[in-house]
């Protein structure tokens, strides 16, 4: 049997450095190497998920050192699922990056792809590792690659990236302190070992501090509402292909770490009953959803608007985690996948639109649907999914979240989910209306002459269109198959006593 | 009093951490923020190293192992090496963060000719 758990990480990690070498000889080698590496990761994570579904969790001991001394990779239903999401979206965005990167930075191709792969490596590493310190290292690999990738964007990018770095480092340091506190009281860094050792120490103040540090650190990394300030600038100014990679994945991987820490490292009893962490979390999420939606309403720049929608979406996941019951957590885990698909497709659309020289201000989108019919069709599908219209996947995760809120008898949380759906409808229909129904503005000479001649298709290149259409197909099919996904994978990812 | 004097290394770690935290959040100059970040990270190193050290303990190398008479190893006599090893990794992470941050500052300075946050913000409004 091939060592799939390690292949997920090693393939992109080695290729990242290979690309720089190969790129200095022949520039055209970079893209195929990157695709090959991402394809290997995606294939291995699918193979592991298959294995997990049939034979239960997979463990891989690095260097044959047995845990708790050595580092182990543990893949169960939860992170097997997240790894598949991350690696497949990474692959799709990788495919789409070709033209956008060649347009944006033709001279630095090898370095861009190197960072791109390191980012994916870091994210996948966070997902598969079963060791809290190893997780910190991967967290920083992903973040460092992210800072560099964001900084190569447009005018405000380096400054936004520096701010992101200050916040990101704070988050990572808090996480590291949490690790240190847990190490003092237990002497272990292995997640499974910690979860065995901790229950007898739940009354300790040190453990409480560790938990608090973990929660704040992760909340910064996943941009949960009061700690989200770095996100809108960083993701707005980042290059299109970068924001299409980091926006859907970084926050989702952060959400995964949150679930892992709250419900695996610490037992659900601790997080929900002994201390009111989950209640606080769901109230924070409540405000995150409202705040994200309301600020998204005020934006005129499509990409910045999506960044605020993303903050609201992070709120959904945190709400599901905080509800602390089976339906809520099912919704949260399902939403990790759905939101990754929706955000990847939406940010990719922004990339396609700007690639064709359109402005991101959506009051200038008049007539877009005649120029780029496929892109706008995908935009409508993704937007409907974010709003939560049934055949698209966004509906199903919201459905479970609402069910979870009702199970927890938290009517306010159920209400905020519905209100945010309405707000999302307003947010996206402002753009959709522009794209489809507004007449082409008078006074633009070029547009006028073209209107007489009939619009010509001016679509984005195939390398962007194909991943975009695949993502849209993913949004619809994941929606239709959500029952199967829940009964096959997610129900095992939820802690048994929920 | 014993709480303070006996555990002075932890108090220093907390004080350093707060200084760093203040500089990261409160200062308006980007270089000062970066220095704050460094102090913050260094305080965490101090914290980890403190957790491993013991008074009067020695380095964790078994002197007469392998073949000669087997003796039980008592952990109390040895400094815990694991936090040190963790910090080696953390130092690597911190150095690379610092490097990336300096590169970012260079980019910012080339674009705006200043590293004061307020000036950059007002330049960007224009």
List of residues 6+ apart from A288 with CB closer than 8 A: A224, A225, A228, A311, A312, A314, A315, A318
Phi, psi of A244 (to 5 degrees): -70, -25
Phi, psi of A188 (to 5 degrees): -135, 155
Model pLDDT for residues B84-118, shown as the tens digit of each residue: 888 999 899 999 999 999 999 998 898 888 888 88
Which single residue is written with the structure tokens 């305080």?
A: B43
Chosen for mutation from B99, B100, B106, B124 (greatest number of chain A CBs closer than 10 Å) is B100
Give yes or no for B47 touching A (CB within 8 A). yes
Nearest CA in chain A to B42: A173
Distances, alpha carbon B97 to alpha carbons A110, A161, A373, in Å: 21, 12, 43
Chosen for mutation from A158, A161, A193, A213 (greatest number of chain B CBs closer than 10 Å) is A158
Give yes or no for A205 touching B (CB within 8 A). no
List of residues 6+ apart from A53 with CB closer than 8 A: A77, A488, A489
Give yes or no for B101 touching A (CB within 8 A). yes
Tell me whether residues A156 and B96 touch, CB distance under 8 A: no
| Structure-block tokens of residue B9 | 């290394």
- The DSSP code sequence of A387-402 is HT-TTSHHHHHHHHHH
Rounded Cα distance, A312 and A297, in Å: 12
Q: Alpha-carbon Rg of chain B, whole angstroms? A: 22
pLDDT by residue for chain A (498 residues), tens only, comes to 678 888 888 889 999 898 888 888 888 888 888 889 999 999 999 998 888 888 888 888 888 888 778 888 888 888 888 999 999 999 999 888 888 887 777 777 888 888 999 999 999 999 998 889 999 999 999 999 999 989 888 888 888 899 999 999 999 999 999 999 999 888 888 888 888 888 888 888 888 889 999 999 999 998 888 888 888 888 888 888 888 889 889 999 999 999 999 888 888 888 777 888 888 888 999 999 999 898 888 888 888 889 999 999 999 999 988 888 888 888 899 999 999 999 999 998 888 888 887 777 877 777 777 778 888 888 888 888 888 888 888 888 888 889 888 888 888 888 888 888 888 888 888 888 887 776 665 545 455 545 545 556 777 788 888 888 898 898 888 888 888 888 887 788 887 776
Asked if the ipTM is above 0.95, the reply is no
Rounded Cα distance, A304 and B117, in Å: 21
Helices B82-112 and A157-186 sit at what angle, rounded to 10 degrees? 170
- pTM value? 0.91
Does a cis peptide bond (omega within 30 degrees of 0) precede residue A68?
yes
Rounded Cα distance, A57 and A99, in Å: 39
Tell me whether residues B44 and A155 touch, CB distance under 8 A: no
Nearest CA in chain B to A163: B30
List of residues 6+ apart from A475 with CB closer than 8 A: A338, A341, A342, A345, A381, A382, A385, A392, A393, A394
List of residues 6+ apart from A170 with CB closer than 8 A: A217, A220, B21, B24, B40
Helices A302-323 and A411-436 sit at what angle, rounded to 10 degrees? 160
Rounded Cα distance, A146 and A250, in Å: 9
Tell me whether residues B47 and A180 touch, CB distance under 8 A: yes
| Structure-block tokens of residue A453 | 């001649």
């Amino acid at each position: 049997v091939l060592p799939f758990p390690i292949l997920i990480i090693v393939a992109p990690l080695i290729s990242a450095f290979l690309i720089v070498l190969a790129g200095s000889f022949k520039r055209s080698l970079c893209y195929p190497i990157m695709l090959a590496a991402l394809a290997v990761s995606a294939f291995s994570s699918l193979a592991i998920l298959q294995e997990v579904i049939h034979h239960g969790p997979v463990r891989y001991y690095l260097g044959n050192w047995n845990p708790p001394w050595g580092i182990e990779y543990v893949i169960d239903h939860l992170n097997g699922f997240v790894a598949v999401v991350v690696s497949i979206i990474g692959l799709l965005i990788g495919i789409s990056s070709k033209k956008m990167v060649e347009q944006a930075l033709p001279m630095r191709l090898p370095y861009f792809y190197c960072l791109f792969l390191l980012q994916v490596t870091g994210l996948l590493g966070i997902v598969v590792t079963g060791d809290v310190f190893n997780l910190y290292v991967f967290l920083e690999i992903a973040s460092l690659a992210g800072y560099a990738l964001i900084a190569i964007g447009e005018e405000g990018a380096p400054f936004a990236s520096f701010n992101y770095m200050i916040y990101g480092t704070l988050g990572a340091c808090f996480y590291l302190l949490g690790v240190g506190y847990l190490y003092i009281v237990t002497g272990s860094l292995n997640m499974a070992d910690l979860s065995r050792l901790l229950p007898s120490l739940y009354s300790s103040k040190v453990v409480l501090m560790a938990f608090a540090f973990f929660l704040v650190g992760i909340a910064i990394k996943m941009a949960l509402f009061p700690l989200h300030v770095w996100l809108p600038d960083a993701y707005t100014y980042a290059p299109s292909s970068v924001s299409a990679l980091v926006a859907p994945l970084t926050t989702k991987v952060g959400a995964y770490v949150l679930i892992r820490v709250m419900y695996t490292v610490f037992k659900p009893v601790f997080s929900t009953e002994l201390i009111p962490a989950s209640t606080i979390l769901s109230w924070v999420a409540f405000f995150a959803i409202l705040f994200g939606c309301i600020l998204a309403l005020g934006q005129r720049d499509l990409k910045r608007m999506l960044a605020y929608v993303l903050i609201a979406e992070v709120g959904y996941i945190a709400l599901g985690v905080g509800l602390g019951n089976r339906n809520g957590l099912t919704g949260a885990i399902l939403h990790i996948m759905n939101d990754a698909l929706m955000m990847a497709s939406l940010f990719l659309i922004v990339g396609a639109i700007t690639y064709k020289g359109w402005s991101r201000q959506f009051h200038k989108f008049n007539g877009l649907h005649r120029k780029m019919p496929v892109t706008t069709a995908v935009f409508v599908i993704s937007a409907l999914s974010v709003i939560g219209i049934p055949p698209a996947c966004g509906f199903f995760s919201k459905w479970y979240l609402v069910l979870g809120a009702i199970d927890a008898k938290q009517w306010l949380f159920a209400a905020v989910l519905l209100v945010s759906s309405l707000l999302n409808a307003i947010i996206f229909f402002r753009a959709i209306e522009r794209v489809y129904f507004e007449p082409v503005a008078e006074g633009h000479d070029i547009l006028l002459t073209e209107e007489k001649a009939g619009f010509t298709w001016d679509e984005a290149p195939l390398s962007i269109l194909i991943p975009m259409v695949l993502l849209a197909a993913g949004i619809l099919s994941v929606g239709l198959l959500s029952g199967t996904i829940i009964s096959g994978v997610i129900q095992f990812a939820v802690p048994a006593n929920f | 009093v014993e709480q303070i004097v006996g555990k002075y290394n932890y108090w220093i770690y907390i004080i350093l951490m707060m200084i760093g935290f203040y500089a990261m959040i409160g200062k308006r100059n980007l270089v000062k923020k970066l220095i704050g970040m460094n102090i913050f990270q260094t305080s965490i190193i101090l914290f980890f190293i403190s957790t491993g050290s013991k008074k009067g303990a020695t380095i964790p190398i078994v002197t007469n192992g392998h073949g000669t008479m087997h003796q039980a190893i008592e952990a109390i006599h040895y400094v815990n090496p694991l936090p040190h090893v963790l910090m080696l990794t953390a130092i690597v992470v911190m150095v690379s963060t610092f490097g990336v941050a300096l590169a970012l500052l260079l980019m910012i300075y080339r674009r705006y000719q200043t590293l004061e946050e307020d000036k950059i913000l007002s330049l960007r409004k224009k």
